[in-house]
Structure 1
Amino acid sequence: MSRKDTLKAMLTRRTEELPDGNSESEPAPQPISHVRSGAVGAMGRSLGQIASAAERAKALVASGAAVVEIPADKVLGSFAQDRLEDEGAEFTTLYQAIKDSGQKSPILVRPHPDKADHYQIAYGHRRAKILAKLGRPVRAVVQNLTDEELVVIQGQENSARKDLSYVERGLFAVTLEEQGFDRAVIMSALSMEKTQLSRLLSLTKSIPKSVIVAIGPAPKAGRPRWTELAERIAALKNNARLDDAIADPKFVEADTDQRFVRLFNALAPRKPAAKTNKVIVKADAGQKIATVERTSTKLAVVVDAQGSLEFGEFVASRLPELFRQFEERKETPNG
């Protein structure tokens, strides 16, 4: 079979793969050669070529080509963070599955551009983390990828599984922009058009990163809720309420979606205090005997304790009688 036919077979071969790498078969390891990647921003190829290379690399993983075992301590994360730390229910389920049945699908890595004999993850971060916790080697396909190819693969793999939350996608986009990647590359990595990307970047930048990290991925909170949270943060006169809410032990102990809700509610606009009208009541001799406080919903009579305590007790004892007189007056015509 020619090389062209072999590549075509790789790209068209059907495989069944569960979320975050749990396939039904595992190919035998094969050797592979390594070459260092290009520098950030060195886009020697067109975006179409980058996307094509990304698809070829993913096809190699799907076809089971060139799988090797690498010690977990030699597998390092991508330079572009796409996940917030959160070992929730999904992570626990995946951990137990790998612990019980082993790693069913290899991850994709490239030779690390700055550390000899180390590798950098394109996708499969959770699997690598779990295998490190279990003290097991990582099964991986090693491909020579440029920085652009790596982030396109990384972003498209997560988008295909709809695995990243809205705010994680935002942080990934901001990270790529800060790394100097072209907008076209970021759009390809996140599979979104220009307007969507601009909106995502603007919203993510409007929320302090420390707040996002404190909340975590919050997968149940979509763009509208994050947008409203950003507006509530912007409306604060100072950060006291924000800091207090994040430092609250109940916030710290909650899961990521509950943390979002707790902070969202803590920063809700406060209703303006009811306007109070105070009138001081004096006796004929001039001494203060009480203060009448009126708001739109209530009226309170506060008797001055220093000079009129006995009077206050007298009024309190007469309240039932006064109320009866009031009721009788309402029932009397022209009363």
Structure 2
Amino acid sequence: MKNFAKQAASSFTLRPGEIFCDHEKTDYEKVAKTISTRLPSAPNPPKLLGEGFDTLCFKHGERAIKILKTGNFDERSYKIRKAILEDQLSRKLYEYSNRNFYPEGRCFVPVEIEDFLEGETVPKGVHDKEGLSSIARQLALIHQSSPVKVDKTRWEQISRITSSNNNNPHFRRHLKHPDFNPSWKYLEETLGLQKEETIAKLLGILDGIDKEDICFCHNDIWGDNIIRNGKELFVIDFGDADWGFRGWDLAYFLLHNQSLENLDEIDLFLDAYISSFDKDPVEFKQHLSAQLNLFVPYLLVGKYNMKFNVQILNNNDFLIYYN
């Protein structure tokens, strides 16, 4: 494994005269077949299973060949994947490199090779007790890991989220964007909430974010990044994994999982998550609940443009969920 680590660490920067493939002209099936020749033999050639915005996934025997169509890999992202997949989730990473020769020229294709996970994604979410508990425990493992240090750029991104109202003009402009006018009209007609008052409330939410909850996060956990194989669930796709806020990760999953209207699901998820930490369960749950009340509205209003529903709780916090 040390030899592979040295090889991988030196394989991210292209040499003079080498370029990445033009993804619009690349025959990725041919690339996958070429890569498969150095993998354990399989009865069938690589089969394309799915295509994302920037990634293609092929199955070859018991291996998954993931080809990056745009961008490239670097040593930092390699360290993240290796630490999370192998050290935390016990899944093998065989290769993570830019140095994959394209069959028809001096071009290279970034490729990741890992164990193939049988199963299907869960676009409708995870709503059973065992499934919610499994995702919660996997997230807890990720949150307790430290695969890389926080670099300067990432810290600046995190700091912008926790800046004061006066230093958060981007979020203020976002909320006042004309595209949100239908949402503000909906809020006023249904709940009597005025636009400026609501914006002030949401901006105030940012001041309550707890910087002590900065940890390593998945940052994109939703149904298409979860594989179900029978009763087992696997979190996949660590392309956005990096340092962030615990509350963001938890809220992001519950929001996309459409669990925010089901308090039983939230309780199940939080209880399973809390069980992975050596903390007072009552105090930690109160803390996590407060974090959800901070991040759910921030995510839904600040990140997504959609009609939303707002329920005013007794403590005047917002609980926002899909309409």
TM-score of the aligned structures, taking structure 1 as reference length: 0.24
TM value normalised by structure 2: 0.24
Relative to its length, the structure with more strand (as a share) is 2
Larger radius of gyration: 1
